[in-house]
């Protein structure tokens, strides 16, 4: 990646440290092995935690890195250059902690953060089988009994679901209350009644553990309620406004750059009709278009991250970053397959993994169709039309 956009020396040092670490510890051979097994390389997660990469955005006061979203974006971009699935594992900690950082008490921040700082994983448990982009349709419930909440329901497609030590769980506390009927809770993995359901056998991001998480009469004390009762939907949406630029936007940029580098290297050595295919103008134009999409996506991702670090959280900009980067990655990965030809379709080359990984960016943290709805809604508000 290029060291530009006005990054500080500390940010560049972290970027280069992450680059050296991930390319050494997660080479292509290990990625291929874990992809085939649908396995998260926990030994590398442990090393990343020891370096502070899994707690980069947590406050220094509780042992975290105290870094903002620009630095987080640099870290996830570098990790995703190797594998966007592994970047998803690491980025999920920041996703899960963000609701606590936004609305939690100091005690909650310290309690939740300790799991991560000590090297554990966290999970953001919002999605259900019938409540993906339509999160207000969630059926997991939390019922108040004395000074406890009793949680029942099944969450689906949960990143780190089977590996997490702690969850942030969204549950309906006022049935029929719509977006104001959901609340947010901290739930430790070791509480009775929690079990791990089916693990997803996914098309891509197979280095990322994705499972159902089942809550059967799980009791948590009242002090595990994050924010106020009924604020869950608001907390979830504000969280995504913060996490989309790094967790999706910048991560997709890392995978794009990986495609571009691999295409340049391959096209410079692959011979047809007595010359490297890179000499063909059609190939040059494809790679040029890749670079254009990468640079534009990266500029938007870091604009969004910078705005967040400045305290200017703009949902439309975050959605635009997520949408543009993920759409661009799908196109770039598809073109990379074309440049590699039959070899790109073979599992002996890394391009097919990047291609399979790419699609998820258009789906998680809200589909790109929903992001476009968010953008238009913001435009209408700004124009005084709603």
Annotated catalytic residues are 365
Residue 126, classified by CB atoms within 10 Å of its CB into exposed (0-12), middle (13-18) or buried (19+), is: buried
Residue 252, classified by CB atoms within 10 Å of its CB into exposed (0-12), middle (13-18) or buried (19+), is: buried
Helix (H), strand (E) at residue 232: helix 232-244
Residue 293, classified by CB atoms within 10 Å of its CB into exposed (0-12), middle (13-18) or buried (19+), is: buried
CA separation for the pair 86, 365 (Å, rounded): 17
133, 366 Cβ separation under 8 angstroms: yes
DSSP 128: B
Helix (H/G/I), strand (E/B), else coil: 363: coil
Could you give phi then psi for residue 236, rounded to 5 degrees?
Answer: -65, -45
């Amino acid at each position: 990646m290029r060291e530009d956009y006005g990054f500080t020396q500390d940010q560049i040092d972290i970027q280069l440290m992450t680059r050296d670490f991930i390319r050494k510890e997660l080479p292509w051979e290990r990625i291929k092995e874990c992809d085939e097994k649908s396995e998260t390389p926990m030994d590398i997660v442990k090393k990343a935690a020891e370096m502070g990469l899994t707690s980069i955005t947590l406050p220094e006061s509780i042992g975290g890195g105290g870094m903002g979203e620009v630095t987080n974006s640099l870290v996830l971009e570098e990790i995703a250059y190797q594998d966007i699935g592994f970047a998803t594992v690491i980025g999920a900690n920041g996703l899960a902690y963000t609701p606590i950082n936004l609305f939690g008490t100091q005690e909650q921040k310290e309690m939740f953060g300790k799991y991560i700082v000590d090297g554990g994983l966290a999970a953001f448990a919002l999605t259900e089988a019938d409540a993906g982009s339509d999160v207000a349709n969630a059926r997991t419930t939390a019922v108040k009994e004395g000074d406890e909440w009793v949680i029942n329901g099944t969450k689906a497609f949960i990143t780190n679901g089977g590996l997490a030590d702690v969850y942030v769980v969204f549950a309906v506390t006022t049935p029929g209350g719509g977006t104001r009927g959901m609340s947010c809770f901290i739930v430790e993995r070791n509480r009775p009644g929690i079990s791990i359901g089916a693990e997803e056998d996914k098309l891509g991001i197979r280095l990322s553990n994705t499972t159902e998480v089942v809550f059967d009469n799980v009791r948590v004390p009242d002090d595990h309620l994050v924010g106020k009762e009924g604020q869950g939907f608001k907390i979830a949406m504000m969280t995504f406004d913060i996490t989309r630029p790094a967790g999706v936007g910048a991560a997709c940029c890392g995978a794009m750059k990986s495609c571009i580098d691999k295409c340049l290297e391959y096209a410079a050595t692959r011979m047809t009709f007595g010359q490297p295919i890179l000499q063909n103008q059609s190939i040059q134009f494809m790679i040029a278009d890749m670079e254009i999409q990468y640079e534009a996506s990266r500029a938007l991702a870091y604009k969004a991250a910078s705005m967040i670090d400045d305290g200017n959280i703009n949902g439309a900009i975050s959605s635009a970053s997520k949408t543009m980067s993920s759409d661009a990655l799908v196109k770039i990965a598809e073109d990379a397959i074309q440049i590699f030809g039959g070899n790109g379709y073979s599992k002996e080359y890394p391009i097919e993994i990047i291609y399979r990984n790419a699609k998820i960016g258009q789906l998680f943290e809200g589909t790109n169709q929903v992001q476009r709805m968010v953008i238009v809604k913001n435009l209408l508000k700004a124009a005084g039309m709603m």
